[in-house]
A and B are shown apart, each in its own frame.
Chain A
Amino acid sequence: MSSTAVVKKNTYFDSVSLMAISTKANGLDDVEQAFVAMGTEMNKGVLANLGLLTPELEAAGNGDLMVVVEAREGADVDTVLAAVEELLTRKAPSAGDATVTHRTIAAAAQDNPAANLAVIAVNGAYAGREARKALENGLHVLLFSDNVSVEEEIALKQLAHDKGLLMMGPDCGTAIINNVGLCFANAVRPGSVGIVAASGTGSQELSVRIHALGAGVSQLIGTGGRDLSEEVGGIMMIDGIRALASDPTTSVIVLVSKPPAPSVEQKVLAEIASAGKPVVVYFVGGSEEAVVAAGGHFATGTQDAALQAVRLGADPNADVEPLDTTRIDEVAALLGPEQRYVRGLFCGGTLCDESMYAMLDLGDDVWSNIQKDPARRLTADSPSTGHTFLDFGDDDFTNGRPHPMIDPSLRLARLVEEAKDPEVALIVMDFVLGFGAHEDPVGVTLPAVEQAQQIAADAGRHLEIVGYVLGTDLDTPALDEQIAALKAAGVTVTRSSTETGQFARALARKVTHA
């Protein structure tokens, strides 16, 4: 037994306090047992028999209070002693410190008239109700929760529209309001590019690219993934465009989403025409003509969208370096003849989408859990085939688990599995930094990367792994450290989501047409 003790010289507690101290000390996390008694000969004798008599206790006099504490295995004794010491000296806080924790949005809003936005992340069964309360109390809403019915979503967005409030979500994971990132967002500098996005990681990537080009973001308004559906009708996207159109800080607007339902696309494009500011549109996999006809600027990817927006709104000379093909040639030379396929393992839905669409340029042997073509759609259980792109953030994978940005375990297991496949030439992964994300997404993946490389090496193959780190120099952990760690592990690092897709496509073209 490792015991330790506090001796209080001539300190008096009444017996009820003494009892309370003893009970509380026994209840401390790292305390195995605690005993409070006066320092008499007999009491010291009992402690000696138990092997608990320290020199300090030995020296206690009959008027001294002994607090004998046996710490749990592995507990830090100093911490335990400090905790016991605090019990002996604790004073009640004064009335002036009284703060109240509110139970409801209404009470919080009434108590603090300056409150202007609610972030709501509760079970879907209650989410709609809480959002309505927030709107009724004049708060803009970011509704992180999903599993809200489409009827409820429409009702909420209509209510918000009538009140002139933003209703971001349900299922909205990212926003930046007044340069404050909410939920999953990156630290970017303030600027003149306004974003309205139905996609979380798509908007994160956009904001990060804009930052990398030296520009900044005025506002990033999320709409939730279902906003541009036929039923919801783009209420939030249209309100978002209008909000940015009348925002003096915003000089250019970027929209990012999956392609809208046709009727909704018309409404959105009509809004572009009347915005009075340049609008860049990236509808992942969408078509150019309608956008251009409406006076919008069509973007082919997130990088292109960022570049066009920065050129239109901040720096006409902004540019990015083209893909460096020397690495592709090097890798191609290392691969065996059977190694033809790309496997993409993504946390970010839009990042997965963007790489998948790049690959679809080459042909239709592209499989995914987010494929539009049902014939080539995979489930979480199905093995990879051909070129496979998996979005681990999709419901099929998350089903009851935290998002892969927080819990990477499924993706790590899949990485090791893919390495065993002799047909795999390239594994592509994204690493998302920022608020709400894992504290070290690269570090947590590296052991699996090494294992994958070892498996391939043991089979006499080279396995190329490409990683893209979504983040800025302002994010925590630091972007350059994450990149350096990947490079040190032999991972090829790409510089944007778009370039990630380009790299995969170029390598695949090279090995299949070689």
Chain B
Amino acid sequence: MSNPLSTPVHDLFAGDLDVVNVGLAMFEQDIAAQGAKVTTLDWTPPGSGKPEILDALDALESPEAAARIEAANALAVERIANSQPLLTGFGRAIDVVPGMTPTTILHAGPPITWDRMAGAMKGAVTGALVFEGLADDLDEAAELAASGAITFSPCHEHDCVGSMAGVTSASMYMHIVHNETYGNTAYTNLSEQMAKILRMGANDASVIDRLIWMRDVLGPMLKEAMEIGGPIDLRLLLSQALHMGDECHNRNIAGTVLLMQALAPSLLQTGFTTEQKKDVLDFIAGSDYFSGPTWLAMAKAAMDAAHGIEDSAVVTTMARNGVEFGIRVSGLVGNQWFTGPAQQVVGPMFAGYRPEDSGLDIGDSAISETYGFGGFAMATAPAIVALVGGTVQEAIACTRQMGEITTAQNPNVTIPILDFQGIPTGIDVRKVLATGILPVINTAIAHKEAGIGMIGAGITHPPVEVFEKAVLALAAALD
């Protein structure tokens, strides 16, 4: 019903007044008392009120720049949503990961040198060096790590992601996830299941023994099973898992069952002994987390396809190394990291541990939130709402709030309780600063010291600096 004579002023005078109230709450009451509809914003000064950030935001929001950015962002989220990542196989890092060498150690987060690494990462690095046979014991491994003979490099710069410490060495088995739509591939290593594990910084004999078994039995069996069974559509499984109450970052029970369902027939047909097969099945049943890394590689495959689109303000990477939090932005091509200090993770701790025991935020697993699940999909996971305050309502509000800093909803991955609206997708650095809303990240808590492991789970946020730096760089790139 469009009246050719209608103007915005006619529409205003002819319709019901519906007010957005910004700044002074006292006006809301008066307006509501007169029977008009009014919504008061939870307003904070944009860009934390910093003039240089406001200037950069203004520059990016000029009509000409905004039009270019909107178009580029639309393309970025289209590529995220249209990506169809398939699990195609498993293989040793040395055989499949680009740039991998026998003396390379990949790690989570932005680049970092040995001397600056967090306790959990150091623990994982020394454990991995022992596992690879490059050192006889942890002390020797620490010396080797410090000697300069080892190449440290971020997972993200090798098409990989690594959960928690993310430490990935040559003979570890990797998921191989192929983006069917755009042709790129992503990798991540296998879940170690327990709490006392390498990725959490633990490195005693039980940890190394498990890694050896994973290298010799679990990895090869999964590899063979995939060769028998063929590719698995991970986006489909992810979206089913979300419908079953996972948010696929801190809750993985449904996703693991689904993945297991897909793998089981081919695992059965592999040439391993029944005893070995039972060990593998027991191992998978040992923790709901088995599919956790799988979703990270899935997200990585999609996010890499959206990286490098000129002018796009969409975040394609959020990753932490336990010391720094780093992001990459689609329009700022290549490996440009914008970093700030890693934050504390707040949440329930295992018995006997206290907040002061926890290491800072660590891991590439925030690729989940970058894609739109994990903390962004809290509304799908009523079972773990304790992480965000304890009520389903808070979980729903959390997902809705993430809608304010994202570009679109992913129609391929939906949330039943929100009438099947898509997960919030494509974090826009401009929106983060304009709203003052930081992305929410669900994550595990590792002990701050090497060798102990996981001690809790909770939520955290990136430091605001990373977005400020990115916005300044985007504004500078406009000229």
Contacts and interface: CB of A to CB of B under 8 A. Distances in A.
The answer on direct contact between A and B (beta carbons under 8 Å) is yes
A243 B13 CA distance: 9
Given A98-B397, A219-B13, A249-B13, A165 B8 contact: yes
Contacts of A108: 20, 39, 41
Contacts of B54: 125-126, 129
Contact of A166 (B9, B17, B392): B9
B22 interface: yes
B136 interface: no
A436 B27 contact: yes
Contacts of B30: 181-182, 435-436
B27 A121 contact: yes
Given A95-B393, A129-B58, A177-B12, A103 B435 contact: yes
Nearest to B11: A116
Contact of A119 (B20, B46, B436): B20
Interface in B5-27: 7-13, 15-24, 26-27
Nearest to A91: B391
A182 B30 CA distance: 8
A122 B44 CA distance: 9
A100 B401 contact: yes
Interface string A478-510: 000000000000000000000000000000000
Interface in B42-61: 42-46, 49, 54, 57-58
Contacts of B392: 92, 94-95, 98
A103 B404 contact: yes
Residues of B in contact with A, size category: 35 or more
Contact of A138 (B8, B23, B49): B8
Interface string A164-192: 11100000000001111111000100000
Contacts of B205: none
B22 A122 contact: yes
Interface in A408-455: 435-436
A351 interface: no
A25 interface: no
Contacts of A101: 40-42
A95 B437 contact: no
A476 B466 CA distance: 50
Interface string B402-441: 0110000000000001000000000000010011110000
Contacts of A399: none
Nearest to A114: B18
Contacts of A97: 393
Nearest to A139: B20
A219 B17 CA distance: 12
B146 to A, nearest CB: 44
Contact of A144 (B17, B24, B46, B431): B24
Contacts, number: 169
A134 B20 contact: yes
A150 interface: no
B19 A117 contact: yes
A126 B45 contact: yes
B34 interface: yes
Contact of A98 (B58, B393, B434, B435): B393
B43 A122 contact: yes
B17 to A, nearest CB: 5
A118 B41 CA distance: 10
A163 interface: yes
Nearest to A250: B13
B22 A183 contact: no
A178 B434 contact: no
A119 B22 contact: yes
Interface in A100-132: 100-109, 112, 114-123, 125-126, 129-130
A455 B375 CA distance: 69
A96 B16 CA distance: 26
Nearest to A177: B17
A512 interface: no
B217 interface: no
Contacts of B58: 129
B37 interface: yes
Interface string B136-151: 0000000000000000
B31 interface: yes
Contacts of B333: none
A129 B54 CA distance: 9
Contacts of A308: none
B466 to A, nearest CB: 19
A249 B45 CA distance: 39
A363 interface: no
A476 B76 CA distance: 54
B20 A118 contact: yes
A118 B19 contact: yes
A74 interface: no
A117 B23 contact: no
A419 to B, nearest CB: 33
Contact of A116 (B18, B23, B46, B417): B18
A183 B49 CA distance: 25
B39 A112 contact: yes
A92 B11 CA distance: 41
A56 interface: no
B376 to A, nearest CB: 14
B400 to A, nearest CB: 4
Contact of A94 (B18, B41, B393): B393
B36 interface: yes
A107 B435 contact: yes
A140 interface: yes
B133 interface: no
Contacts of A177: 12-13, 17
A102 B46 contact: no
Nearest to A142: B19
A145 interface: yes
B404 A102 contact: yes
Interface in A452-478: none
Give the one of B20, B30, B397 with max A CB within 10 A. Answer: B20
B164 to A, nearest CB: 28
A179 B26 CA distance: 19
A93 B436 contact: no
Nearest to B8: A164
A139 to B, nearest CB: 6
B396 interface: yes
B8 A105 contact: no
Nearest to A100: B400
A329 B267 CA distance: 110
A105 B41 contact: yes
Nearest to B15: A116
A496 B19 CA distance: 32
Contacts of B404: 102-104, 107
Nearest to A101: B42
A121 B34 CA distance: 20
B4 interface: no
Given A103-B435, A103-B437, A119 B21 contact: yes
B352 interface: no
Give the one of B10, B404, B436 with max A CB within 10 A. Answer: B404
29 contacts: A95-B392, A98-B397, A99-B397, A101-B42, A102-B41, A102-B404, A103-B44, A103-B435, A104-B404, A105-B20, A105-B41, A108-B39, A112-B20, A114-B15, A116-B11, A116-B18, A117-B18, A118-B20, A120-B22, A121-B24, A122-B23, A129-B57, A140-B8, A140-B12, A177-B12, A182-B27, A182-B30, A219-B13, A436-B30
8 nearest CB pairs, A to B: A121-B23, A103-B435, A122-B23, A121-B24, A435-B30, A92-B391, A100-B400, A98-B396
Given A95-B393, A99-B397, A102-B404, 4 more contacts: A115-B20, A130-B43, A177-B13, A247-B9
